Structure 1
Amino acid sequence: MKTNPLEVFGSWIADSPDNWPSDAREWAHREFIDTVAVMVPGAVEPVSRKIFETVAPWGAGPCTVFGQSTRLAAPWAAMVNGTIAHVLDFDDNFDPPKAHPSAVLCPALMALAQQEKLSGAACIDAYIVGLQILGRIGQGLNPTHRNRGWHATATVGVMGATAACARLMKLDAQQCARALSIATSMSAGFMSQFGTEMKPVHAGLAAKGGIMAASMARAGVTAGTETLDGRTGMNRLMVGPDYEELRDTITHIEHGQNLRYELESVGEPLLITEHKFRVKRFPTCGAIHRAMDGVLDLRAEHGFSADDVTSVDLHMPRVHFNNVMYTDPREPLEAKFSAEYAVGCVLARGDCTLADFTPEAIMRDDVRSLFPIIHRHPVDKLEGEFPTQVRLTMRDGRVLEKTIAMPQGSKSAPFTDEQYWAKFEACCAGVIPPEDIDSLRQSLEKLPSLPDMGELMHNAEFTAAEFTAAEFTSAGAA
């Protein structure tokens, strides 16, 4: 049996037959829908324009950038579109690597498929393959990798994007292994960028890196053979000098994260159907979604308003609080990583939508006045060991409690097809005209049978410059 993870993963990428079960293909299709949905409003965000203007002079090409009429070379289109997909923090999460996979995989595959004139079915296949490798490598590094501050969407995301692109390009096993090795040299990203414009750029860099690594491997660029598991391999460097001790003494394993690369059965179970996704109900960091669900559940059950509440106590794993670190957010991006703003928003407004993340909305007193009554109680346990507990103390003396183990949109409570399309329609409203929404939806609906992904991408060439964030908000998009 091969023991080098590069060789094992490379062989699996190249040689696995495209005979995935129907539910795997359906999940992949749904995540393309979800990703395109959030990319439409993401295209009007300031950082999306900044990244486009940065890379546009570096190379025109055949590939669409969402919201732009100018096409770029595939790596640059993937970089901009990856940023666009992640900027609202409304894109999906995937538990095995603790990363946002689709904001990386979809932009990379859409750009490469448009360049090569490849089909929607080929993209579905490559997505499933890329997600599996992203998950397997993530399981080999986590939970420690992410808990110590690495942004897995960037570090592990580029590995998944590379696997997906190598599959789409039909590289052989040796080329696929080399592509993964090349990608380790592009693996970077710290959680210290959360709440800034660089955080979504991480997804763009990972998408770009996937196309570049696979293309370099096809061109014959050589790379090391011990870059995943070696004395200075990805696991030892990106977990820490105590990697082996942690690996050998781990007792509680969540989402298959056991600090070991799975080499005996790379494709079993198929992670896309085993774990599914955490599709976002709210455009905020997913670490606070359980608490937001709990507050809304209590509101629905008891019919109170924010004025009726004197204290909100949040008991959550410390690692979740680490992700929502801004206690007094001053910018919309900071508000997306604030437990106080997210919980205060659903408590005061009964929901949390894209319209709640403008400079004006985050400074309104209806939410900010609640910050002093929202109390953090971190617990030193992983999320699977400790569900989020929400405790509300009311003015009349009642104490209302709710415990949430998994948020809405996750494996335990997945979105229906109708909810996916409702999110799509809501994201597009006010950004593009109704007839363009219909065209984009039609091409998305038939994505698995599209002979050329260019048809879908053509419908993404709306002119985002015609819309400002203020106009978007006033149009009622949520």
Structure 2
Amino acid sequence: MTLLSATYAAFANELTIDRVPSTVLERARHLILDAVGTGIAAIGAPWANRAFAAAEELGQGTAPVLGHGRALAPRDAAMLNGILMHGLDYDDTHAGGIIHATVSAFPTALVAADRADASGADLLLAYIAAMEVSTRVASVSGGAFHGFGFHPTGLIGAFGSTVAAARLLGLDPSQSAMAQGIVLSMAGGSLEFLEDGAWTKRLHPGWAASSAITAATLARHGYVGPTAAYEGRFGLYALYLRDAAPEHIARATAGLGDVWEIDNVAVKPLPACHMTHAAIDAAIWLRQEHGLRGADIAEVTVLVPEAVIPIVCEPAAPKRTPATGYDAQFSIPYTVATALLTGSFTLDALDPAALRDPAVRDLAGRVAYAIDPDTDYPTHFTGEVIVQTRDGRTLRRREGVNRGAADRPLSNADISRKFVENATRTIDAPRAEAIRAAILAIDQNPARTLADVLAHRP
């Protein structure tokens, strides 16, 4: 049987524009637009500034960094771009693999294409190849990576990104396969950040991108890595899934080149962990439909898939009183309480003042959870909110298909609006429009044209 690394290498190296449906190309451009918008909104955040300062200390260069000019070496630029684009946790998610794939795939492709002086079309194709590989590799686990404490965005993003870097840096298929073996020793991403609100999750896709460029460059120079990166005795699946060996290995190549997983990537309509979205929307609906106010609510129960409990529901005490905006994004009690009290959930809900709001804290303390017996997770991130009112009513709303999912998608026009809303938090409208236009014409210009536009300092 052909090894997966060889299959992916051949797919990426042989991919051409005429093999990709026009609708997939257009969606890919908009997924990039979405990631860039969330990255621009993050410019100036404390964690972003400190990461950039650390990267500058490590070395200088001319690779593009979103909103920071051409100041870093390629690997560090890729890392910073990934940190920025993922840092607000407002980026896309592939439900089958539970992976934020764009925020490693695009930073890798951007820096590698700029370094190689590639065309914008090649940048776009490399990004698409990375997305198709990362989403399939992650989907094999059926969500089990999270159960073992690993974050697929960093762990698996490194593999798809390596395929993209290999293509753009001119590696042949055998070298591309070798690069995937090399990156096996670099890939990682712990979920320990969930315990104390650490910043490390933001690093994961950037580290995946940096590792991908490193692995591809090593392979180009003849460095030898293991051949069975995925299937080996100590390959990806045996190592990171342990006794839960994947029963769905066929997903790793299912429809590759004919079925496009980019069509199954969900774009976030809300700036929080995707696992909270259905509950947030259900809470907003209940408030609007019944005119609920905080004083009306006695207690709230949220039905969630069992697998998401350790991520967005437990440990219970800190979830009810999140200390940081990042904690809040992974909290069912906080997100649902905010939605019930305000009728929305925006980036403003992550500000320190919002976190300290006594009304939100009081209601969050009365939000409990229970296992959803009817969920089809991870196909959808389901959620149901049940409100017991002080006058004895039981009000409930179920969202069986989370908004933004592949079968309830945000339109490309929705994504454009989201981009403008995010980008104009830190740059003016004309600048945002120039970036939007450059991304949507990505394949009509040299890659460096887009890199220059994105790197321009506000």
Same fold (TM over 0.5): yes
Number of the residue aligned with 1:303: 291
1:264-316 deviation per Cα after TM superposition (whole angstroms, max 9, x unaligned)? 7533422223x2x2211111111110101111122232232232222211011
**Contact 2:136/2:253 (<8 A) preserved:** no
Q: 1:130-175 deviations in whole A, cap 9, x for unaligned?
A: 1111122112333322222210001101011111222223422101
**1:94 and 1:265, CA in 2 relative to 1: closer, same or farther beyond 3 A?**
closer
Root mean square deviation of aligned Cα: 2.1
Instruction: Give the letter aligned to residue 321 of structure 1.
Output: I
Specify the alignment match of 1:239 in structure 2.
241
Letter paired with 1:89: D
Distance in 2 between residues matched to 1:75 and 1:372, nearest whole Å:
44
Amino acid at match of 2:6: E
Deviation at 1:457, TM superposition (A): 2.8
Specify whether residues 161 and 392 from structure 1 end up closer, same or farther in structure 2 by C-alpha distance, changes over 3 A only: same
Counterpart code for 2:225:
A
Q: Kindly provide the CA deviation profile for residues 43-75 of structure 1, in whole angstroms up to 9, marking residues without a partner as x.
A: 221111111111113332222212323521211
Q: Paired residue for 2:452, among 433, 453, 458?
A: 458
Distance 1:100 1:263, change over 3 A: closer
Structure 1 position 259, deviation (Å): 4.5
Q: How many angstroms apart in 2 are the aligned matches of 1:448 and 1:414?
A: 24
Partner of 2:36: 36
Contact 1:285–1:323, Cα closer than 8 Å, also in 2 = no
Match of 1:394 in 2: 389
Q: Secondary structure at the match of 1:459?
A: helix
- Residue 363 of structure 1 is matched in structure 2 by 356
Indicate conservation of the 8 Å contact 1:15/1:173, yes or no: no
1:272 aligned residue (262, 265, 282): 262
Aligned to 1:336: 329
Structure 2 alignment gaps of length 5 or more:
none
Structure 1 residues 461 and 262: CA distance shift in structure 2, 3 A:
closer
SS in 1 for 2:192: helix
By how many angstroms is 1:192 displaced? 1.3
Deviates more, 1:168-177 or 1:262-271: 262-271
Cα offsets for 1:250-273 (capped at 9, x unmatched) = xxxxxxxx2456457533422223
The aligned residue for residue 347 of structure 2 is 354
What residue is the counterpart of 1:111 in the other structure?
111
- Partners of 1:353 and 1:262 in 2: how far apart? 35
Q: TM-score, normalised by structure 2?
A: 0.92
Code of the aligned partner of 1:98: I
Aligned residue for 1:310, secondary structure, equals strand
Q: CA deviation at 1:463?
A: 4.4
> Contact conserved, 1:139 with 1:260, CA < 8 A, in 2?
no
* One-letter code aligned to 1:239: L
| 1:385 CA displacement | 8.7
Q: Tell me, yes or no, if the aligned pair for 1:281 and 1:408 is still in contact at 8 Å.
A: yes
Range with bigger deviation, 35-44 or 389-398:
389-398
Question: CA deviation digits over 1:333-386, x for unaligned, max 9?
Answer: 211111111111111111111111122221111311111221111347661499
Q: How far off is 1:462 after superposition?
A: 5.0
Give the aligned partner of residue 475 of structure 1.
Answer: none
Identity among equivalent positions (%) equals 26
Structure 1, 353-362 or 9-18: larger mean CA deviation? 9-18
The answer (yes or no) to whether the contact 1:436–1:459 under 8 Å persists in 2 is: no
Contact 1:179 / 1:214 at 8 angstroms: preserved in 2? Answer: yes
Q: What corresponds to 1:447 in structure 2? A: 442
- Extract unaligned runs of 5+ from structure 1: 248-257, 465-478
Residue identity opposite 1:50 in structure 2 = R
SS in structure 1 opposite 2:371? strand
Could you tell me which residue of structure 2 aligns to residue 417 of structure 1? Answer: 412
Q: Does 426-435 or 312-321 show the bigger shift?
A: 426-435
Looking at structure 2, the residues matched to 361 and 439 of structure 1 have their Cα atoms a distance apart, in angstroms, of: 33
Structure 1 stretch 181-190 or stretch 433-442: which is displaced more?
433-442
Tell me whether 1:316 sits opposite 2:304 in the alignment: yes
TM-score (ref. length: structure 1): 0.88
Q: Residues of 2 paired with 1:339 and 1:264: CA distance?
A: 34
Give the aligned partner of residue 188 of structure 2.
Answer: 188
Q: Is 2:275 the counterpart of 1:287?
A: yes
Q: State how far apart, in whole Å, the 2-side matches of 1:385 and 1:99 are.
A: 13
| Residues 1:225 and 2:227 are matched in the alignment | yes
**Distance between the aligned counterparts of 1:222 and 1:403, measured in 2?**
52
Alpha-carbon spacing, 1:406–1:170, altered in 2? closer, same or farther (3 Å): farther
Give distance in 2, aligned partners of 1:375 and 1:264: 39
Q: CA deviation at 1:332?
A: 1.6
User: 1:363 is aligned with what amino acid?
Assistant: R
CA distance in 2, matches of 1:33, 1:127: 13
Amino acid of the structure 2 residue aligned with 1:286: H
Q: Figure out how many residues of one structure are paired with residues of the other and give that number.
A: 448
State the match for 1:470 in structure 2. Answer: none
**2:402 matches 1:407:** yes
Distance 1:391 1:346 in 2: 13
Q: For residue 473 of structure 1, what is the aligned residue in structure 2?
A: none
- Aligned to 1:216, which of 215, 218, 228? 218
**Equivalent AA in structure 1 for residue 328 of structure 2:** A
Residue of structure 2 in register with 1:253 after alignment? none
SS at match of 1:190: coil
2:260 counterpart letter in structure 1? L
* Contact 2:335–2:345, Cα closer than 8 Å, also in 1: yes
For residues 364 and 140 of structure 2, the distance between their equivalents in structure 1, rounded to whole angstroms, comes to 38
Give the secondary structure class of the aligned counterpart of 2:208: helix
Whole-angstrom distance in 1 between the partners of 2:390 and 2:121: 57
SS at match of 2:271: coil
Q: Deviations over 1:406-428 (max 9, x none)?
A: 21111122112221121111112
AA partner of residue 272 (structure 2): T
Deviations 1:386-412 (A, max 9, x none): 942211122332222111122111112
CA–CA distance in structure 2, aligned partners of residues 412 and 299 of structure 1: 25
Q: 1:319 to 1:446 in 2, by over 3 A?
A: same
SS at match of 1:376: strand
Deviation of 1:460 after TM superposition, in Å, equals 3.0
Q: Distance in 2 between matches of 1:332 and 1:349?
A: 17
Distance, in Å, in 2 between the alignment partners of 1:167 and 1:141 is: 26
Contact 1:52 1:80 in 2 (8 A): yes
Report SS of the residue matched to 1:61. Answer: coil
Residues of 1 paired with 2:293 and 2:387: CA distance? 12
8 Å contact from structure 2 (residues 104, 209) kept in 1: yes
Q: Could you tell me how far 1:28 is from its partner in structure 2?
A: 0.6
2:286, 2:340 within 8 Å by CA — same for their partners in 1?
Answer: no
CA 1:169/1:96 → structure 2, altered by over 3 Å: closer, same or farther? farther
* Corresponding residue for residue 163 of structure 1: 163
Correspondent of 2:207 among 205, 208, 214: 205
